[in-house]
Amino acid sequence: MSKYKLTALIEPEGAGYLARCPELHISSQGDSLDQARENLQEAVKSFLDAASSEEIARRLGRETNVVRAEEAVD
């Protein structure tokens, strides 16, 4: 079994939350923050269970950087 360090980006969208894993290009959603996280985890697990090792390597082969930026707005 392989383990991967992946990023979960979760943000409000409409009345719920959008959850994304940028490394795998997988998205999910939920009515609450916890539900969105759980749904994303399930979607990632389903992908990793079904995808070929070549497809996983192709998606993980790109570098993903998450940084915070502060900008002043007048």
Asked whether residue 69 carries a pLDDT value surpassing 90, the answer given is: no
Residues 10, 33 contacting (CB under 8 angstroms): yes
**CA atoms within 13 A of residue 60's CA, in its CB half-sphere:** 16
Which of the two residues, 61 and 23, has the higher pLDDT score? 23
Q: Whole-prediction pTM value?
A: 0.82
Long-range interactions of 64-73: CB distance < 8 A, separation 24+: 64/7, 64/22, 64/23, 66/7, 66/9, 66/22
Q: Where are the domains of the chain?
A: 9-60
